[in-house]
Amino acid sequence: MKLKKEHIQDSNKKGVSIHGEEFDFLSNQLTKHGVDVPKLVQKLADFQVAIPSWALGAGGTRFGRFSFYGEPASLEQKIEDVGLLHALTKTAGAISLHIPWDIPEDYGAIRQLATANELIFDAVNSNTFQDQKNAEQSYRYGSLSNRSKVVREQAIQHNIDVIGIGEKLGSKSLTVWLADGANFPGQHNFQTALLNTENSLKEIYAALPDDWKLFIEYKPYEPNFYSTVIQDWGTSFMLANACGEKAYTLVDLGHHLPNTNIEQIVSTLMLKGKLGGFHFNDSKYGDDDSTVGSVKPYALFLIFNELVYGMEHNPQNPYPAWMIDASHNIKDPMEDLMQSLEAIQEAYAKALLIDQAELMAAQRENDVVLCQEILQNAYRTDVRPLVRQARLLKGGALNPLMAYRSLQVREALIKERGKHSIATGL
């Protein structure tokens, strides 16, 4: 299914005059306070977030899965789903593939389909947290960290194969997330596991094309509950430094222990030029993979404040690769992703409203109260008219979620694919 521009424009008709009034009102107010509104709206319009191929079906649980029906059963259908999201939101202009779940059969046709949907291929993700069909070696006791050289070699080769697949699609980065770790004290020699991982990553790094980046993701626990080899940003940062200048740390919001100050981690990594990628989601307890901004929107805003500051002040840090990494069991995944994209745009817009010069002046004076006021004035501004304006500029929907419902997209997908079509992946 493909949404026609006319359909989206029709769905906008009802709300466009109210939007105009709301946008003009806010725009006048902000202009009076010295905000360059057209520049801000353009930044929002330019901001693109990759959608992972595994977020389009029901998932996020090791217990029962409850399908929302009409899930994409093939890579082609996953690309079409992201295309629909992008047509409505104009914020989802990239797809991130997971290998081996999404190996293309016809690369030319897949690239063409992506282009027709105005999508590019973002980072490719390797998978050594599951045993692959017909694989000779098992990852039961780890992959890149495994005590056995043969197992490590298989895992290294898989990552090199993934780079090859990504090259044929036009990807420019490889994301490595390792489940390696120990479930019980005494199971691992920590130093051996870390050294093996570092040496394996160096071999993968050596196979990286010149214009590629390697993103090393970290996570404190799960599926191993006693220790994880790459458990935190410091370990990832150390490994990225050991590999070289094309290797970076990747921050996933859900991969922290409760109450970790993620904005400070972001700030430190950008100062050191090592924040390569960023995975959005939200959580209450652990790696919950909930909708972005659904639980801790203020934390998301504070993180965006550091991202905006880093993008403006740290030329040593490359422009980060943005991706949503969420997957759960209850909502229509497309509606969930639209809510996430909206939350990301809102947090970004609010962070852009912070008057950095005024904040620095207040910090110099140690005016703690004013510092908080500056942040919260920005946070309390209803920026939704700016986000809508950015979408309108690019031909998207005023309200993507309501357009998705009124255009009966899910119903059409169920009709096209059948009710019990299941997405491949987790």
Cα R_g (the chain), whole angstroms: 22
d(Cα 56, Cα 70) in Å, to the nearest integer? 10
Which pair of tokens denotes residue 348? 């970004």
d(CA 323, CA 94): 9
Instruction: Give the separation between CA 147 and CA 129, rounded to whole angstroms.
Output: 16
Candidates 29-37, 49-57, 228-236, 248-256: pick the segment binding Mn ion (CB under 5 A). Answer: 248-256
**Binding residue for Mn ion, selected from 252, 306, 342, 346, defined by CB under 5 A:** 252
Three-state SS at 70: coil
Give the nearer residue to Mn ion in terms of CB position, either 252 or 342: 252
Q: Shortest Cβ distance from residue 125 to Mn ion (Å)?
A: 8
What is the distance between the alpha carbons of residues 135 and 100, in angstroms, rounded to a whole number? 12
The stretch among 9-17, 138-146, 283-291, 320-328 that binds Mn ion (CB under 5 A) is 320-328
Sequence-ordered list of residues with C-beta below 8 angstroms from that of 374, at least 6 positions apart, any chain: 354, 355, 358, 359, 362
CB of 280 to Mn ion, least distance (A): 9
Which among 220, 223, 216 is positioned nearest to 254, based on CA atoms?
220
Kindly tell me which residue out of 80, 232, 325, 336 binds Mn ion, with binding defined by CB under 5 A: 325
The full DSSP string for 354-379 is S-HHHHHHHHHTT-HHHHHHHHHHHH
252 vs 336 by CB, closer to Mn ion:
252
What the block records as the tokens of 256 is: 């922290």
CB of 72 to Mn ion, least distance (A): 20
Closer Cβ to Mn ion, 279 or 410, answer by number = 279
- We find the least distance from the C-beta atom of residue 321 to Mn ion, in angstroms, to be 11
Using CB under 5 A, which of the segments 134-142, 182-190, 249-257, 297-305 binds Mn ion?
249-257
Task: State the amino acid at position 287 in one-letter form.
Answer: D
| Residue given tokens 């057209």 in the structure block | 38
Task: Output 188 or 255, the one with its CB closest to Mn ion.
Answer: 255
Q: How far is the CB of 174 from Mn ion (least distance, A)?
A: 13
CA pair distance 186, 176, nearest whole angstrom: 26
| 214 strand-pairing partners | 174, 247
Provide the H-helix boundaries in 170-216: 190-206
Tell me, residue by residue from 255 to 284, as one string, x for binding to Mn ion by CB under 5 A and - for no binding.
------------------------x-----
Residues of span 183-222 touching Mn ion by CB under 5 A: none
CB of 204 to Mn ion, least distance (A): 18
CB of 383 to Mn ion, least distance (A): 26
Beta carbon nearer to Mn ion, 80 or 325: 325
Q: Candidates 141-149, 318-326, 334-342, 408-416: pick the segment binding Mn ion (CB under 5 A).
A: 318-326
Question: Phi and psi (nearest 5°) for 324?
Answer: -90, 130
Nearer to Mn ion, 325 or 346 (CB): 325
> Of 277-316, which residues contact Mn ion (CB under 5 A)?
279
Question: Please, which residue, 158 or 279, has the CB nearer to Mn ion?
Answer: 279
Q: Which is nearer to Mn ion, 188 or 256 (CB)?
A: 256
The three-class DSSP label of residue 286 is coil
In the complex, minimum distance from the CB of residue 242 to Mn ion, in angstroms, rounded to a whole number: 21
- Judged by the rule CB under 5 A, the positions of this chain that interact with Mn ion are 252, 279, 325
